[in-house]
Amino acid sequence: MAEPTAAPAPATAAPKEKPPIGRGRRITVWVLVVLATIIGLVSILTVWVRRQMLNDNSWRKASADLIQNQDIRDSLSIYIVNQIYQNVDVAGALQQRLPQNLKPLAEPLAGALRQRASNGISTILGQPRIQQLFVNASSLAHDKLVNVLEDKTGYGISTGNGEVTLDLRQLIVQVGEELGIPQQALDKMSSKVGVVTIMKSDQLSTAQNGVHALKVLSVWLAIAVLALYALAVFLARGYRRQTIRNIGWGLLIVGFIVLIVRRVMGNYLVDQLSSPGYERSTHSAWLIGTSILGEIGKATVLYGLVTVLGAMLAGPTRIATKIRGWLAPTLNDHQGVVWGGFGVFFLVMVWWAPTHALHEWWGIVLLGGLLALGVYALRRQTLEEFPSTAASPPAGSTPA
């Protein structure tokens, strides 16, 4: 009797391969990524100007950082000394205080004290009370400037046709009192002493148009970047991991360009625009004035690096596959541990806030969404590649 033949094993369906992306669509995806990256660079510059130059809190913080910088205090002390000596009869003030037999020494003493006065003023400018006078004067000038640029009323300016000035007279008078100059001599100073013109009337119209355009661009350019990147990923079916990787490289390039431009422009300002002896203070002022630009550049580099590493982790290389194999048991079988760890990591990032974006609600939401999407996509991939970890029975159980 013939032995029964074994039933043929059921045929397993071959995995469906994703259709390769066509050449025309791939070119379209590349164009979208490159275009979004270029717009992203412009968007960063507009966002920086709006946050650094037009935001009251950012301006006050920058003003406080400026007056707390030693190089800037040294330069400001020279300016204050020059203003006092040019507008106050220091020799006459000394002559009033000297004994009769020493009054002829007032003139040489005034000249000899000039250098020491600069050092003394630099020390005086380190006092919190004096620094607050500078911050208040700078903030008032900023309020005037913003009102003019936005064509608002306030602080005596209604049409934006006047000049915007920084008034340091009160600071100079206070420093003069600290140096012991009689109040009568200080009261005789002209009302224009210590008044620095920030913007002249013939510059206001162009600046107003620029601010109006900036407000529109800073919002819509950022939306355009996200929309173009999203469209590129949507069109790159079968090529999405590589597209996300390219987006990450684009972010890295933009971030490094911003950081390089900040350094190069700072060196140019020092070399070309600063007066002799003011190089260090000019460089310090540039770094403080572009601090938010530097933070945005670093944040862009960070987001680009995370995007590239995430795309590489999902890639077909041997190292990436081995790492996914190590992570698969936890990702597939212990979702509570995975999402709990994700939550702790995200809260630590928000608390640490290494970038300026994590001080804003939209930056927190964007980072949280990207990280959550990355964890979700990685788990889907490990479930497909290592399904045995999810299907294996619990330890100690017997098959039915």
Q: 5 vs 215, which has greater pLDDT?
A: 215
What is the tens place of the pLDDT at every residue in 125-169? 888 888 998 899 888 888 877 877 776 654 444 444 456 778 888
**Percentage, residues of the chain above pLDDT 70:** 82
- Return the pLDDT at 251: 94
| pLDDT greater than 80 at residue 107 | no
Distant-in-sequence, close-in-space partners of 273: CB < 8 Å, separation ≥ 6: 282
Joined tokens for residue 183: 């109040």
What is the tens place of the pLDDT at every residue in 69-80? 999 888 888 888
Q: How many CB atoms lie within 10 A of CB 256?
A: 14
- What are the contacts of 231-239 at 24+ separation with CB within 8 A? 231/32, 232/29, 232/32, 232/33, 232/36, 235/25, 235/28, 235/29, 235/32, 236/21, 236/25, 236/26, 236/29, 237/18, 237/19, 237/21, 238/18, 238/19, 238/20, 238/21, 239/20, 239/21, 239/26, 239/29
- Return the pLDDT at 156: 45
- Return the pLDDT at 245: 93
Strand-pair partners of 166: 196
Q: 141 vs 245, which has greater pLDDT?
A: 245
- Return the pLDDT at 152: 65
6 — pLDDT class (breaks 50, 70, 90): very low
What is the tens place of the pLDDT at every residue in 325-366? 999 999 999 989 999 999 999 999 889 887 777 777 877 888
The packing angle between helices 291-313 and 23-53, to 10°, is 150
222 — pLDDT class (breaks 50, 70, 90): confident
Average pLDDT over residues 182-204: 75
Q: 101 vs 397, which has greater pLDDT?
A: 101
Q: What is the mean pLDDT of the chain?
A: 80
| pLDDT greater than 80 at residue 28 | yes
| pLDDT greater than 70 at residue 27 | yes
Least confident of 62-66, 241-245, 262-266: 262-266
Q: 247 vs 303, which has greater pLDDT?
A: 247
Residue 327 host element (H or E): helix 318-333
CA–CA gap between residue 66 and residue 141 (Å, rounded): 15
Average pLDDT over residues 196-202: 71
**By three-state DSSP, how is residue 151 classified?**
coil
CA–CA gap between residue 155 and residue 58 (Å, rounded): 20
Average pLDDT over residues 86-93: 76
| pLDDT greater than 50 at residue 8 | no
**Percentage, residues of the chain above pLDDT 90:** 23
- Return the pLDDT at 16: 45
Residue 393 host element (H or E): none
99 — pLDDT class (breaks 50, 70, 90): confident
- Return the pLDDT at 185: 76
- Return the pLDDT at 201: 64
- Unique residue bearing structure tokens 């966002």: 47
CA–CA gap between residue 23 and residue 33 (Å, rounded): 15
Average pLDDT over residues 371-398: 74
**By three-state DSSP, how is residue 18 classified?**
coil
Q: pTM of the predicted model, to two decimals?
A: 0.75
Q: Are strands 164-167 and 195-199 parallel, antiparallel or unpaired?
A: antiparallel
